[in-house]
Amino acid sequence: MSRTDQTPPQAVADGGRAPGSLLSRVQADRSVTRMVVLVVVAFAFFAVLNPRVFLSSINLQNIAISSPEIGVLALAMMLAMLTGGIDLSLVSIANLSAITISTLFTAVGENDPALAQSLAPLFVLAGIGVGLLGGLVNGFLVSRVGITPILATLGTMQAFNGLAVVWTGGTVLYGSPDSLTSLGQTAIAGVPVLFVVLLVTAAVVAVVVNRTPIGRKVQLQGANPVAARYSGIDSRQVLMRTYLISGALGGLAGVLFLSRNPTASADYGASYVLLVIVIAVLGGTNPNGGFATVTGVVLATLTLQIVASGFTAIRLSSYQYAIAQGAILIAVMVIDQVRWRRRPPRRRAGTSQASTPA
Amino acid sequence: MSGGLARFRGRNNEGVLAVVLLLLVVGMSVANPAFFSLSTGFSILRGSIVPLVFALGVLLVIISGGIDVSFAAIAVFAAYTTVKVAGSTALPLGVLGAFGLALVIGALLGLVNGLVIARFRLPTLIVTLGTQGIFKGVLLTYVGARFIADLPDSMAGLSTTNLLTIGSGQGRAQLHVLVLPAIALAVLLAWMLRRTMFGRSIYAIGGDQEAARRAGIRVMRTQVWVFALVGMMAAAGGMFHMIMGRSANPQDLVGGELDIIAAVVLGGASIFGGRGSVLGTVLGVLLVQVINNSLILVGVPSAWQRTAVGVLLIVGVGVQALAARRSARKVHANVIDQQEVAA
């Protein structure tokens, strides 16, 4: 934590900066540093305990292939949390997207298999479109009707999931374009394409959040909705766009589900809802809004996947992984909180206007 | 709004909810006369017992301004552990002993939530998400993951005890004995929330934590007690669930938390805290049960149930949100109106 402690001189040095962005830089440094340390520690821990299994290339490949779908969902969750909201419906949206693609492919493929294969990009777009539609519903409920995000998305989570159950009749759908499946299996220079998709998505989200007007508005909306309104920010529009983007990311996650595994069902990834919240918070996202880092979230995704596969490598059960998830989440929150309290009063006073200790 | 109407409508729209429930029952009875029978009524009551006990616990947390998603994990932890202990040890635990053990376990797990939340002032959603994983993981790893098909005799005896049996053969209507403790709990809780210092403190904390602190309420202590109480209620609910299901499945219940929270919110409790009532929660739970029950009777496939409950939640909360927005506008224009709402 030496980096954080060096910040006051830095603060003097860039005196021209707005306090808000300085604070977010301090926090960004801190949560990214923490996540780098955690990734390395987790990796080293399991590498030492069972190097033969954990360091095998299959295991490393597995980590890289299973991370992207969770990572994309976590980024979507991060966006919703950035505005001070939450999106519980993401996994349901992702499943609807996967089901749409699979159904379209099977329907077209019945008459003309070759055509179905060649229309794959169109199907993928349809899947992401379904995600956008889900996001539109969420955005409408949150921004126009004014329902609290946690309740609105709780309702849509049930509704979307119910639709998926009705659609599939509770069964597992088989069938997805070959190009998607092969995409899930190829690797460029040892790095699976799916992982590249995650990195590209993360980069795009990072640019949107940090470099575009809409990203700024999203951050301000989450940090202080009242100030945002008095600054002339149309909070309805900001919220609507946020949920649209996170819905689209949910749709993309559905595409990733399908490319990893050519089946779609209504209840795939039921445990992801909680996992994704854990990842977002672990990655330094303030659940009260206003602050998040994309790098932190990506690193948190990796950490949890490393722990998951590490637990398998040292033969611990998925139940023990659930314990670890919960313990990590609470430990990180407690440590953060204790650190906030211990901050010297002078510095605390200096930053208090923008800080909302979670 | 005239006085009588306002009183009927209730502080949290309980009256509206009651009318909706009544309309639904009448509508269903017209659509399918088979619906309007004592056995349907009793089976809806039976199905409401466990959700109601959970929902009352969730109501306490929501009034205090928090949210709890770990209660199902606590319920299954306490009840499964109790069944296992009662089944494996030689000493006869009896029904009361078994409930006592379950309540102690529930209270301890609830205390864990309460202490972490109050001591470190962490968001309740995140903490209970974490403890949910921990409780479930510990149960399945260290207590047991096996399905127990038969309960200890003392509990099994309760499984088949009915309070009332009316008619015979096909048309037999049975009212399960466990509705009694569920009703008793609801009455007790309503009394506690309205008439005791502790109950008023919960509303005060949920309304404005800082104001409550300045008014001399011990926020931390109240919060810890709320979570311990919720843990105990969850444990009781878990025991009821296992007794009525006549088996103990450690994989049960967890995953259904959001349905319960939906019922509480439908019952008029505000997710921001400070508002909510036992009557509203009872009506919310009954409404969800009636809808689930009637969908099957009118021939809607059970697959639509989840969608129906989701849409119901959105409509219910949406109407409240729009009404709140309208009244917020009215408050600006009319201060007297505001005083009436507050009174």
Domains located in chain A, CATH noted: 34-338 (1.10.3470)
Selection from B169, B273, B153 nearest residue B211 by Cα: B273
Within 10 A of A295 (CB to CB), how many other CB atoms are there?
16
Show residues of chain B in contact with A290, CB under 8 Å: none
Mutate to test the interface with A, among B115, B121, B134 (most CBs of A within 10 A): B134
How close B31 gets to chain A, by Cα (Å)?
23
Q: Please answer yes or no on whether A333 and B126 come within 8 Å at the CB atom.
A: yes
Which whole-number Å values give the CA distances from A52 to A49, A62, A312, B331, in the listed order? 9, 15, 13, 69
Highest mean pLDDT pick, A88-97, B139-148, B166-175, B283-292: A88-97
Show residues of chain B in contact with A291, CB under 8 Å: none
Selection from B304, B247, B50 nearest residue A169 by Cα: B304
Show residues of chain A in contact with B145, CB under 8 Å: 319
Show residues of chain B in contact with A155, CB under 8 Å: 262, 310-311, 313-314, 317
Pick from A147, A165, A320: which is nearest to B137 by CB?
Answer: A320
Q: Please answer yes or no on whether A162 and B125 come within 8 Å at the CB atom.
A: no
How close A290 gets to chain B, by Cα (Å)?
15
Show residues of chain A in contact with B121, CB under 8 Å: 337, 357
| Whole-number pLDDT of residue A22 | 55
Pick from B130, B140, B305: which is nearest to A162 by CB?
Answer: B305
Percent of chain B with pLDDT over 90: 38
Mutate to test the interface with A, among B126, B295, B322 (most CBs of A within 10 A): B126
> Rounded distance, CA A339 to CA A337, Å?
5
Record the tokens describing residue A244, joined without a space. 């649209």
Selection from B47, B50, B55 nearest residue B293 by Cα: B47
Selection from B118, B30, B4, B71 nearest residue B241 by Cα: B71
B263 phi and psi angles, rounded to 5 deg = -65, -40
Q: Please answer yes or no on whether B123 and A287 come within 8 Å at the CB atom.
A: yes
B248 phi and psi angles, rounded to 5 deg = -125, 110
Axis crossing angle, helix B219-245 with helix B71-88, rounded to the nearest 10: 60
| Whole-number pLDDT of residue A3 | 38
Q: Please answer yes or no on whether A158 and B309 come within 8 Å at the CB atom.
A: yes
DSSP state of B248: B
| Whole-number pLDDT of residue B331 | 62
| Minimal-distance CA residue of chain A relative to B134 | A323
Show residues of chain B in contact with A145, CB under 8 Å: 318, 321-322
pLDDT band at B231 (very low <50, low <70, confident <90, very high): very high
How close A151 gets to chain B, by Cα (Å)?
8
| Minimal-distance CA residue of chain A relative to B143 | A319
Which segments in chain A show pLDDT lower than 50?
Answer: 1-20, 345-358
Q: Please answer yes or no on whether A323 and B265 come within 8 Å at the CB atom.
A: no
How many CB pairs below 8 A link A and B? 150
- pLDDT, mean over chain B: 85
| Whole-number pLDDT of residue A97 | 96
Q: Please answer yes or no on whether A326 and B261 come within 8 Å at the CB atom.
A: no
What ipTM did this prediction achieve?
Answer: 0.82
Percent of chain B with pLDDT over 70: 91
Residues 6 or more apart in contact with residue B322 via CB below 8 angstroms: A145, A146
Mutate to test the interface with B, among A154, A286, A332 (most CBs of B within 10 A): A154
Structure pTM? 0.83
Q: For A92-101, B203-212, B326-335, which range has the lowest pLDDT when averaged over its residues?
A: B326-335
Residues 6 or more apart in contact with residue A35 via CB below 8 angstroms: A282, A283, A284, A295, A296, A299, A300, A303
| Minimal-distance CA residue of chain B relative to A89 | B310
Q: Please answer yes or no on whether B120 and A281 come within 8 Å at the CB atom.
A: no
Q: A45-82 b/e with 16+ CB inside 10 Å = b?
A: ebeeebeebbeeeebbebbbbbbbbbbbbbbbbbbbbb
SS3 A275: helix
Q: Please answer yes or no on whether B133 and A322 come within 8 Å at the CB atom.
A: yes
**B174-199, pLDDT tens digit by residue?**
788 888 999 999 999 999 999 999 99
How close B30 gets to chain A, by Cα (Å)?
27
| Minimal-distance CA residue of chain B relative to A267 | B255
Pick from B120, B121, B310: which is nearest to A155 by CB?
Answer: B310
> Rounded distance, CA B55 to CA B282, Å?
8
> Rounded distance, CA A99 to CA A254, Å?
8
> Rounded distance, CA B281 to CA B285, Å?
6
Q: Please answer yes or no on whether A166 and B307 come within 8 Å at the CB atom.
A: yes
